[in-house]
């Protein structure tokens, strides 16, 4: 009887030609749903504390990014900037109780176009991150806000604890703009004509990718659990422009008090590829 039942279980998905490279929006939604379920199982398994490369395990061989051929317009691109907060009381109030104040509070603002070779999986995303200290005593970036453009990215982010909402986004070499659905500005990052040369002048040197390789959120199904998404991979810059960045924030948003009106800080535009190392999702309690 068991054999007959087993033979009727769907074990093959011929309509999905490549799980890692979906060819239609339907395939993309299906594979994303499978990822949500896989991560839920990990989050709810008290015996597991780390997930490496989304469940695939550690890399067996190192990847040399310098040998990867890149098309002229390929690569993730966007604008990065960071600034010390002007209101430390507000900064502490915005950090969940799961995090301790860092020795040097920093607000990191990033707007990116994940310009993938496969247009099906391409999307834009913004990040408002606060430097913090996790339960393990290590520095991380708490993601306070994450603008996105698509419902799929919204659903995936919410399932893991990223505070995403739907916006209209424009990302170019000179300026990134995030608009609310009613057309009001949420934030914008704009390169000025003024360059900066010394890395010590920037709060976040370009090598840290603005914090996006070490992000943390509170898991919504267990508020005592913090999830840290990190990577020890390499980054290869394909195009870079270090400039002072003008920061404009809607004064009605809850974190606006961290960034004084008319703020300008060292930042950069960059187009890059990443890889070569292992990505990790770690549980912090």
Q: Residue 76: helix, strand or coil by DSSP?
A: strand
**pLDDT, position 66:** 82
Which tokens is 92 given?
């502490």
Closest CA to 80 of 265, 274, 273, 279: 265
**pLDDT, position 149:** 95
Taking the CB of residue 30, how many other CB atoms lie within 10 A of it? 16
Q: Domains of the chain by range and CATH? A: 74-284 (2.40.400.10)
**pLDDT, position 41:** 95
DSSP 88: H
Residue 96 vs residues 91, 133, 222: alpha-carbon distances, Å: 10, 11, 13
Please give the Cα distance from 274 to 71 (Å, whole number).
15
**pLDDT, position 65:** 84
Please give the Cα distance from 35 to 29 (Å, whole number).
10
Calculate the CA dihedral of residues 63, 198, 202, 147 and round it to 10 degrees: -50
Please give the Cα distance from 22 to 234 (Å, whole number).
25
Which tokens is 256 given?
């606006």
Please give the Cα distance from 147 to 126 (Å, whole number).
5
Contact 187, 173 (CB under 8 A): no
Burial 88-108 (b: 16+ CB within 10 A, else e): eeebeebbeebbeebeebbbb
Sign of the torsion formed by the C-alpha atoms of 105, 111, 117 and 122: positive
**pLDDT, position 68:** 85
Q: Which residues of the chain are modeled with pLDDT < 70?
A: 1-15, 19
**pLDDT, position 1:** 43
Please give the Cα distance from 69 to 270 (Å, whole number).
18
Q: Which residues pair with 143 in a beta bridge?
A: 129
Please give the Cα distance from 268 to 251 (Å, whole number).
24
Q: Model pTM?
A: 0.92
**pLDDT, position 2:** 45
């Amino acid at each position: 009887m068991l054999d007959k039942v087993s033979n009727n279980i769907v074990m093959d998905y011929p309509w999905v030609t490549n799980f890692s490279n979906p060819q239609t929006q339907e395939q993309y939604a299906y594979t994303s749903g499978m990822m949500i379920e896989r991560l839920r199982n990990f989050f709810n398994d008290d015996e597991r504390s780390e997930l490496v490369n989304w469940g695939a395990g550690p890399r067996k061989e190192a990847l040399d990014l310098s040998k990867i051929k890149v098309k002229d317009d390929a690569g993730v691109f966007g604008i990065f900037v960071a600034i010390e907060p002007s209101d430390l009381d507000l900064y502490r109030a915005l950090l969940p109780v799961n995090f301790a104040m860092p020795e040097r509070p920093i607000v990191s603002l990033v707007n990116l176009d994940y310009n993938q070779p496969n247009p099906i999986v391409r999307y834009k995303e913004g990040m408002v991150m606060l430097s913090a200290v996790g339960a393990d005593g290590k520095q991380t970036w708490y993601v306070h806000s994450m603008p996105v453009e698509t419902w799929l990215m919204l659903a995936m982010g919410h399932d893991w604890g990223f505070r995403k909402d739907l916006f209209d986004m424009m990302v170019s070499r000179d300026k990134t703009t995030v608009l609310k659905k009613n057309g009001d500005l949420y934030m914008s990052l704009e390169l000025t004509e003024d360059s900066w040369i010394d890395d010590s002048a920037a709060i976040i040197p370009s090598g840290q990718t603005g914090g996006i390789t070490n992000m943390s959120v509170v898991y919504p199904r267990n508020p005592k659990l913090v999830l840290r998404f990190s990577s020890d991979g390499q980054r290869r810059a394909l195009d870079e422009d270090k400039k002072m960045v003008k920061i404009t924030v809607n004064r009605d948003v809850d974190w606006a008090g961290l960034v004084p009106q008319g703020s300008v800080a060292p930042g950069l535009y960059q187009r890059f590829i990443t890889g070569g190392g292992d990505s990790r999702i770690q549980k912090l309690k």
